[in-house]
């Protein structure tokens, strides 16, 4: 009978109480299960082992009474309650970004944006920092350049790529004759405003104080022929002698007859110079330094 079963369980619990670390009081039959009220010491014991298909009510402790004896705490009440979420009730199944963790920024992107292009805050910071470092490097140390014309042929062909460094002229010395430089052309009657924003590449053939002229198909600097080894062909024009002003240089293309250079628009101010071409990196078979200028022009002022 139910009364006999309840009495037997109560007697069994009463006999087991002295063996516990802390006494348990008020053991009785309530709602078809056994309720216990443990003292704080007993509450710190291991969790009870529940039979398969039962779940303990949240917030209730499940003390374990020795080896082999388990107490089901209000099992009948727990069966009517819905199971709780093991993830803490945040509704996340462990897949995908969790709200509030910083990853939910992906949800703000339109569906047509590929997942690989959906940047979070850290990605945006990385891109901005990398872009800023790249700009600073190009402005102060070196930059790559692409050759779009034949004005420097045969030294540079169309499609060649080079590195122009910006340290030498800023901290060491001014341009020497023979240097290949990149620059903005000056504003003159022969150059438009739009053209002055372009970047040219030419060779320095003379510096301040030098007298430059073109005659008999050759360039002469201070009465000496210069650059025969590097030019493509003899010049088909003549240029009257002119002295390079202080603070300027005279630049020409190695392809004398197909170059828009100082023989047309005059000397180049040094402040227009952006850098010095130091080597080619493309195509691979041309990788390396640039041809040297004739040795007879090695004596130039250190600064001018």
Distances (CA, A) of 259 to 10, 37, 252: 111, 100, 7
Active site residue: 8, 10, 151, 262, which one?
Answer: 151
Q: Is 151 a catalytic residue?
A: yes
| Contact call for residues 75 and 33 (beta carbons, < 8 A) | yes
Look up residue 276 and give its two tokens. Answer: 């010095």
Q: What gap in Å lies between CA 217 and CA 236, rounded to an integer?
A: 6
- Based on C-alpha coordinates, what's the Rg of the chain? 44
Helix H or strand E encompassing 24: strand 24-30
Burial class (CB in 10 A: 0-12, 13-18, 19+), 85: exposed
Look up residue 190 and give its two tokens. Answer: 């022969």
End-to-end CA distance of the chain: 119
Look up residue 56 and give its two tokens. Answer: 């303990």
Q: What gap in Å lies between CA 221 and CA 236, rounded to an integer?
A: 18
Classify residue 64 by its DSSP letter: B
Number of other CB atoms surrounding residue 276 within 10 Å? 21
| Contact call for residues 33 and 74 (beta carbons, < 8 A) | yes
Distances (CA, A) of 205 to 160, 179, 213, 222: 22, 8, 11, 11
| Contact call for residues 8 and 27 (beta carbons, < 8 A) | no
| Contact call for residues 259 and 149 (beta carbons, < 8 A) | no
Catalytic residues: 151
């Amino acid at each position: 009978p139910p009364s006999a079963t309840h009495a037997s369980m109560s007697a069994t619990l009463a006999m087991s109480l002295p063996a516990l670390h802390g006494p348990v009081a008020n053991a009785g039959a309530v709602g078809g299960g056994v309720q216990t009220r443990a003292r704080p010491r007993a509450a710190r014991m291991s969790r009870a082992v529940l039979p398969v298909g039962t779940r303990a009510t949240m917030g209730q402790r499940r003390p374990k009474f020795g080896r082999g004896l388990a107490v089901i705490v209000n099992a009948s009440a727990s069966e009517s309650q819905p199971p709780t979420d093991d993830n803490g009730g945040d509704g996340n199944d462990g897949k995908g970004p969790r709200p509030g963790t910083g990853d939910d920024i992906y949800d703000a992107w339109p569906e047509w944006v590929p997942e690989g292009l959906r940047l979070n805050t850290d990605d945006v910071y990385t891109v901005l920092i990398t872009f800023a470092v790249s700009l600073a490097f190009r402005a102060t140390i070196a930059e790559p350049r692409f050759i779009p014309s034949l004005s420097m042929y045969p030294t540079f062909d169309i499609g060649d790529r080079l590195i122009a460094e910006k340290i030498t002229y800023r901290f060491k010395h001014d341009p020497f004759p023979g240097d290949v430089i990149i620059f903005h052309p000056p504003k003159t009657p022969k150059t438009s405003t739009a053209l002055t924003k372009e970047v040219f590449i030419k060779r320095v053939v003379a510096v301040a104080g030098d007298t430059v002229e073109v005659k008999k198909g050759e360039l002469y600097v201070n009465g000496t022929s210069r650059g025969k080894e590097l030019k493509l062909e003899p010049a088909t024009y003549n240029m009257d002698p002119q002295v390079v002003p202080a603070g300027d240089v005279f630049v020409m293309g190695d392809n004398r007859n197909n170059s828009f250079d100082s023989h047309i628009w005059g000397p180049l101010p040094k402040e227009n110079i952006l850098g010095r071409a130091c080597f080619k990196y493309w195509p691979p078979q041309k990788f390396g330094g640039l041809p040297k200028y004739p040795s007879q022009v090695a004596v130039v002022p250190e600064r001018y």
